[in-house]
Amino acid sequence: MKHSKLAACKLYISEGRNAAALEAIERAAGHHPQATITKKFPDYAYNRTRYTIVSYLIEEDEARVVDSPLRQALFAMAEEAYKTIELGTQCGAHPRVGVVDHISFHPLAQSTLHEVANLAKLVAADIGGRLHVPVLLYEAADPQGRALSSLRRELDYFTPNFMGNQWAGWSLPNVLPISPDEGPQCVDQDKGVVFVGASPWVDNYNIPVLTKDVDLVRTIARRVSARGGGLPGVQALALLHGDKLEIASMFLEPDRIGDKEVQREVELLASEEGLRVEKGYYTDLSKETTTKSYMKLASAD
């Protein structure tokens, strides 16, 4: 490969039902073929879609990343998302604070976390300055190193605001209670806010629980998460998913704690409450498979 330093970006769009809008977003990405979509994961119940996109880094010198095809592709996709989706008119069973809700960067191949954090800051400046959307930086992209979960709590991200277990897009404050790192302090209710950050690779794993008792599953999710005294590096959230509930989990240290440990712990906690649990599923490719998929697609191109 000509370029050995790669970055992956997970772009979360608060839309999983409007096929025309998603097709428009993907066409915008298609104008930047050197950035490759390695995985698309739409979810109708959550009304949310995640795109995993990979490309190479362009360096001015060894100390600074100055560009990447990812930057142009992400801007085009975000711009199209804001044109085709109105946050204030939709809702879903997954939290949301923006049309483009979350953009996370992760190093692949020979790149470093510092390098992809530089790219994250460039993308944040593009969205805040050119699209006039408030941007909150987190982890390696944030000078203060704030955790994504902490920023989300400051915006009541985890509290359902519509029909008990749904999140609506029209409940954001007109002025952010915390200062954005890029973009205006005032919030456009049709666009919302976006979190942008950089971290080591994160795996997402969802486990269906066969009950409609939301409070009970929330208790299990809290007990399995690191914050609740459970497994290290695990974050978990109970969400309504169709006619059942899911524990949506994130593995912040996937080489240390993975699906086997989390599946076993959820099954144990659920059995104490007399509940049955289905086999969980990953919502994205692994870090290694993502890299291989990009290499194969880039070589073909």
Domain annotation covers residue 297 = no
Strands 194-198 and 100-109: parallel
What are the tens digits of pLDDT across the range 243-270? 899 999 999 999 999 999 999 999 999 9
Q: Identify the CATH number of the domain in which residue 227 sits.
A: 3.30.70.670
pLDDT at 1: 47
What are the tens digits of pLDDT across the range 102-139? 999 999 999 999 999 999 999 999 999 999 999 999 99
pLDDT tier for residue 64 given thresholds of 50, 70 and 90: confident
Domain annotation covers residue 291 = no
- The verdict on 26 and 114 lying in the same domain is yes
- The verdict on 180 and 239 lying in the same domain is no
pLDDT tier for residue 62 given thresholds of 50, 70 and 90: low
Tracing tokens 């191949």 back to the chain, one arrives at 109
Domain annotation covers residue 296 = no
Domain annotation covers residue 109 = yes
Domain annotation covers residue 140 = yes
- The verdict on 45 and 192 lying in the same domain is yes
Count of structural domains within the chain: 2
Domain annotation covers residue 248 = yes
- The verdict on 160 and 268 lying in the same domain is no
- Parent domain of 237: 203-282
From 61-65, 175-179, 209-213, the region with the lowest mean pLDDT: 61-65
Domain annotation covers residue 175 = yes
- The verdict on 103 and 115 lying in the same domain is yes
- Residue positions annotated with a catalytic role: 94
pLDDT at 63: 64
Mean pLDDT of the chain: 95
pLDDT tier for residue 2 given thresholds of 50, 70 and 90: low
